[in-house]
Chain A
Amino acid sequence: DAGVIQSPRHEVTEMGQEVTLRCKPISGHDYLFWYRQTMMRGLELLIYFNNNVPIDDSGMPEDRFSAKMPNASFSTLKIQPSEPRDSAVYFCASTQGGQGDNEQFFGPGTRLTVL
Protein backbone atom coordinates (compact mmCIF):
# COMPACT_ATOMS: atom_id res chain seq x y z
CA ASP A 1 0.00 0.00 0.00
CA ALA A 2 1.23 3.52 -0.74
CA GLY A 3 0.32 4.80 2.69
CA VAL A 4 -1.54 8.02 3.37
CA ILE A 5 -1.04 10.49 0.56
CA GLN A 6 -1.20 14.24 1.02
CA SER A 7 -0.97 17.04 -1.47
CA PRO A 8 0.51 19.48 -1.90
CA ARG A 9 3.62 18.88 0.22
CA HIS A 10 4.31 22.59 0.41
CA GLU A 11 1.99 25.52 -0.06
CA VAL A 12 2.86 29.19 0.07
CA THR A 13 0.02 31.65 -0.24
CA GLU A 14 -0.89 35.19 0.61
CA MET A 15 -3.16 36.26 3.39
CA GLY A 16 -6.79 36.20 2.34
CA GLN A 17 -6.42 33.47 -0.25
CA GLU A 18 -8.26 30.17 -0.14
CA VAL A 19 -6.15 27.11 0.60
CA THR A 20 -7.20 23.51 -0.02
CA LEU A 21 -5.27 20.58 1.38
CA ARG A 22 -5.92 17.07 0.13
CA CYS A 23 -5.66 13.62 1.62
CA LYS A 24 -6.07 10.08 0.39
CA PRO A 25 -6.27 7.59 3.27
CA ILE A 26 -5.07 4.02 3.21
CA SER A 27 -7.53 1.81 1.37
CA GLY A 28 -9.86 0.03 3.78
CA HIS A 29 -9.38 2.47 6.63
CA ASP A 30 -12.65 3.86 7.91
CA TYR A 31 -11.34 6.67 10.12
CA LEU A 32 -9.59 9.79 8.87
CA PHE A 33 -8.02 12.53 10.95
CA TRP A 34 -6.73 16.02 10.27
CA TYR A 35 -4.03 17.40 12.59
CA ARG A 36 -2.16 20.67 12.76
CA GLN A 37 1.37 20.91 14.13
CA THR A 38 3.08 24.12 15.26
CA MET A 39 6.00 24.85 17.52
CA MET A 40 3.79 26.74 19.92
CA ARG A 41 0.84 24.36 20.20
CA GLY A 42 2.30 21.01 19.24
CA LEU A 43 0.08 18.44 17.53
CA GLU A 44 -3.61 19.36 17.54
CA LEU A 45 -6.49 17.22 16.32
CA LEU A 46 -8.72 19.39 14.15
CA ILE A 47 -11.41 16.96 13.02
CA TYR A 48 -11.98 13.30 12.37
CA PHE A 49 -14.33 11.28 10.18
CA ASN A 50 -15.76 7.79 10.43
CA ASN A 51 -17.14 6.26 7.25
CA ASN A 52 -16.97 9.70 5.61
CA VAL A 53 -19.08 11.32 8.35
CA PRO A 54 -17.55 14.02 10.59
CA ILE A 55 -17.58 12.76 14.16
CA ASP A 56 -15.76 15.41 16.13
CA ASP A 57 -14.85 18.84 14.79
CA SER A 58 -14.31 20.50 18.15
CA GLY A 59 -10.68 21.13 17.27
CA MET A 60 -11.43 23.22 14.21
CA PRO A 61 -10.18 26.64 15.23
CA GLU A 62 -12.61 28.89 13.40
CA ASP A 63 -15.31 29.04 10.80
CA ARG A 64 -12.59 29.79 8.28
CA PHE A 65 -11.68 26.10 8.47
CA SER A 66 -13.84 23.44 6.87
CA ALA A 67 -13.29 19.77 6.05
CA LYS A 68 -15.10 17.35 3.81
CA MET A 69 -14.89 13.70 2.96
CA PRO A 70 -17.02 13.07 -0.14
CA ASN A 71 -15.96 9.42 -0.38
CA ALA A 72 -13.85 6.82 1.37
CA SER A 73 -10.72 7.66 -0.56
CA PHE A 74 -10.57 11.44 -0.44
CA SER A 75 -10.76 14.28 2.04
CA THR A 76 -10.08 18.00 1.91
CA LEU A 77 -9.28 20.63 4.49
CA LYS A 78 -10.06 24.13 3.35
CA ILE A 79 -9.06 27.45 4.86
CA GLN A 80 -10.87 30.51 3.58
CA PRO A 81 -9.66 33.18 4.01
CA SER A 82 -6.19 32.19 5.14
CA GLU A 83 -4.22 34.16 7.74
CA PRO A 84 -0.53 34.17 8.68
CA ARG A 85 -1.31 32.41 11.97
CA ASP A 86 -2.56 29.43 9.97
CA SER A 87 1.03 28.70 8.96
CA ALA A 88 1.75 25.18 10.18
CA VAL A 89 2.24 21.62 9.06
CA TYR A 90 -1.05 19.85 8.47
CA PHE A 91 -1.16 16.08 8.77
CA CYS A 92 -3.74 13.61 7.65
CA ALA A 93 -3.91 10.18 9.29
CA SER A 94 -6.10 7.14 8.94
CA THR A 95 -6.88 3.96 10.83
CA GLN A 96 -9.07 0.90 10.61
CA GLY A 97 -11.39 1.12 13.58
CA GLY A 98 -12.34 -2.53 13.65
CA GLN A 99 -8.80 -3.58 14.55
CA GLY A 100 -9.32 -2.21 18.01
CA ASP A 101 -5.81 -0.95 18.67
CA ASN A 102 -6.31 2.59 17.37
CA GLU A 103 -2.94 2.74 15.58
CA GLN A 104 -2.94 5.71 13.25
CA PHE A 105 -0.99 5.96 10.01
CA PHE A 106 0.20 9.43 9.13
CA GLY A 107 0.81 11.10 5.82
CA PRO A 108 3.95 13.16 5.16
CA GLY A 109 2.16 16.43 5.87
CA THR A 110 1.56 19.68 4.04
CA ARG A 111 3.70 22.61 5.11
CA LEU A 112 1.56 25.73 4.77
CA THR A 113 3.04 29.20 4.80
CA VAL A 114 0.68 32.15 4.72
CA LEU A 115 2.43 35.44 3.99
Chain B
Amino acid sequence: AQSVTQLGSHVSVSEGALVLLRCNYSSSVPPYLFWYVQYPNQGLQLLLKYTTGATLVKGINGFEAEFKKSETSFHLTKPSAHMSDAAEYFCAVSRGPTSYDKVIFGPGTSLSVIP
Protein backbone atom coordinates (compact mmCIF):
# COMPACT_ATOMS: atom_id res chain seq x y z
CA ALA B 1 0.00 0.00 0.00
CA GLN B 2 1.12 3.51 -0.64
CA SER B 3 1.27 6.28 1.92
CA VAL B 4 2.53 9.82 2.30
CA THR B 5 3.83 11.64 5.35
CA GLN B 6 4.51 15.34 5.60
CA LEU B 7 6.71 16.43 8.45
CA GLY B 8 5.26 19.50 10.09
CA SER B 9 1.62 20.40 9.81
CA HIS B 10 2.57 24.06 9.96
CA VAL B 11 5.71 25.84 8.78
CA SER B 12 6.52 29.52 9.18
CA VAL B 13 9.24 31.33 7.25
CA SER B 14 10.25 34.93 6.86
CA GLU B 15 9.73 36.67 3.56
CA GLY B 16 12.83 36.07 1.45
CA ALA B 17 13.89 32.98 3.38
CA LEU B 18 14.22 29.46 2.06
CA VAL B 19 11.08 27.37 1.96
CA LEU B 20 11.48 23.66 2.69
CA LEU B 21 8.45 21.41 2.97
CA ARG B 22 9.15 17.77 3.64
CA CYS B 23 7.46 14.77 2.09
CA ASN B 24 8.24 11.09 2.48
CA TYR B 25 6.38 8.31 0.79
CA SER B 26 6.12 4.57 0.75
CA SER B 27 5.41 2.66 -2.41
CA SER B 28 6.01 -0.88 -3.54
CA VAL B 29 6.53 0.23 -7.13
CA PRO B 30 8.17 3.25 -8.76
CA PRO B 31 5.91 6.10 -7.79
CA TYR B 32 4.50 9.12 -9.44
CA LEU B 33 4.84 12.06 -7.04
CA PHE B 34 3.02 15.36 -6.91
CA TRP B 35 2.90 18.60 -4.98
CA TYR B 36 -0.37 20.48 -4.96
CA VAL B 37 -1.05 23.91 -3.49
CA GLN B 38 -4.34 25.13 -2.05
CA TYR B 39 -4.89 28.84 -1.57
CA PRO B 40 -7.61 29.95 0.84
CA ASN B 41 -11.11 29.15 -0.37
CA GLN B 42 -9.85 27.50 -3.53
CA GLY B 43 -9.37 24.01 -4.88
CA LEU B 44 -6.03 22.26 -5.16
CA GLN B 45 -3.80 23.06 -8.11
CA LEU B 46 -0.73 21.23 -9.29
CA LEU B 47 2.64 22.79 -8.46
CA LEU B 48 4.83 20.11 -9.98
CA LYS B 49 5.05 16.40 -10.61
CA TYR B 50 7.62 13.66 -11.01
CA THR B 51 6.86 10.73 -13.26
CA THR B 52 10.11 9.56 -14.85
CA GLY B 53 13.42 11.04 -15.95
CA ALA B 54 15.17 13.92 -14.25
CA THR B 55 14.85 13.70 -10.49
CA LEU B 56 14.91 17.47 -9.97
CA VAL B 57 11.57 18.81 -11.03
CA LYS B 58 10.74 22.46 -11.50
CA GLY B 59 7.25 23.75 -11.04
CA ILE B 60 5.32 26.96 -11.07
CA ASN B 61 6.04 30.03 -8.95
CA GLY B 62 9.71 29.15 -8.48
CA PHE B 63 9.14 25.90 -6.61
CA GLU B 64 11.12 22.75 -7.23
CA ALA B 65 11.34 19.28 -5.74
CA GLU B 66 13.85 16.48 -5.89
CA PHE B 67 12.96 12.82 -6.01
CA LYS B 68 15.39 10.82 -3.88
CA LYS B 69 14.65 7.15 -4.19
CA SER B 70 17.17 6.09 -1.55
CA GLU B 71 15.52 8.38 0.99
CA THR B 72 11.95 7.86 -0.31
CA SER B 73 11.60 11.61 -0.23
CA PHE B 74 10.20 14.34 -2.43
CA HIS B 75 10.85 17.57 -0.54
CA LEU B 76 9.58 20.87 -1.92
CA THR B 77 11.81 23.94 -1.91
CA LYS B 78 11.81 27.55 -2.97
CA PRO B 79 14.89 29.77 -2.52
CA SER B 80 13.05 32.89 -1.45
CA ALA B 81 9.60 32.97 0.09
CA HIS B 82 7.03 35.49 -1.03
CA MET B 83 3.96 36.58 0.86
CA SER B 84 1.81 35.09 -1.88
CA ASP B 85 3.24 31.63 -1.10
CA ALA B 86 1.16 31.40 2.07
CA ALA B 87 -1.10 28.42 1.45
CA GLU B 88 -1.66 24.74 2.21
CA TYR B 89 0.66 22.32 0.43
CA PHE B 90 -0.13 18.69 -0.23
CA CYS B 91 2.27 15.97 -1.29
CA ALA B 92 0.73 13.04 -3.14
CA VAL B 93 1.79 9.68 -4.55
CA SER B 94 0.37 7.22 -7.01
CA ARG B 95 1.54 4.13 -8.76
CA GLY B 96 2.38 4.37 -12.41
CA PRO B 97 2.70 4.19 -15.26
CA THR B 98 0.59 1.69 -17.12
CA SER B 99 -2.81 2.22 -15.65
CA TYR B 100 -4.64 4.67 -13.52
CA ASP B 101 -4.43 4.27 -9.78
CA LYS B 102 -5.70 6.31 -6.89
CA VAL B 103 -3.66 9.28 -5.84
CA ILE B 104 -2.91 9.22 -2.13
CA PHE B 105 -2.65 12.66 -0.55
CA GLY B 106 -0.62 13.56 2.50
CA PRO B 107 -2.16 15.46 5.42
CA GLY B 108 -0.89 18.81 4.18
CA THR B 109 1.47 21.48 5.46
CA SER B 110 0.25 24.99 6.08
CA LEU B 111 2.88 27.56 5.10
CA SER B 112 2.89 30.99 6.70
CA VAL B 113 5.14 33.76 5.42
CA ILE B 114 6.10 36.44 7.93
CA PRO B 115 6.80 39.93 6.58
* A residues apposed to B, CB below 8 Å: 4, 31, 42-43, 45, 48, 50, 56, 91, 93, 95, 97, 100-109, 111
**A101 and B32 in contact (CB under 8 A), knowing A91-B44, A109-B43?**
yes
The residues of B with any CB-CB pair to A shorter than 8 Å are: 32, 34, 36, 41-46, 49, 51, 90, 94, 96-103, 105, 107-108
Contact assessment for A108 and B43 in the assembled complex, using a CB-CB cutoff below 8 Å:
yes
A43 to B107, CA, bound (A): 7
Residues on the A chain within 8 Å of B51, using CB: 100-101
- Name B94's contact: one of A4, A43, A102 (CB within 8 Å): A102
Taking CB atoms, residues of chain B closer than 8 Å to A105 are: 46
**Is there an interface contact between A102 and B43, defined as CB atoms closer than 8 Å?**
no
B108 touches A102 (CB 8 A): no
**Could you name 16 residue pairs across A and B whose Cβ atoms are closer than 8 Å?**
A4-B43, A31-B100, A42-B105, A42-B108, A43-B105, A56-B102, A93-B43, A97-B100, A100-B98, A101-B97, A102-B32, A102-B96, A104-B44, A104-B103, A107-B43, A108-B42
Is A100 in contact with B90, judged by CB distance below 8 angstroms? no
Across the interface, name the chain A residue whose C-beta is closest to B104: A45
Q: What residues on A are CB-neighbors of B45 within 8 Å?
A: 106
Closest approach, in angstroms, between the C-beta of A1 and any C-beta of chain B?
14
The residue that B100 contacts in the complex, of A50, A106, A108, with Cβ under 8 A, is A50
Closest CB of chain A to B87's CB: distance in Å? 14
Let me know if B34 and A103 touch, CB within 8 A: yes
- Complex: how many Å from CA A103 to CA B34? 8
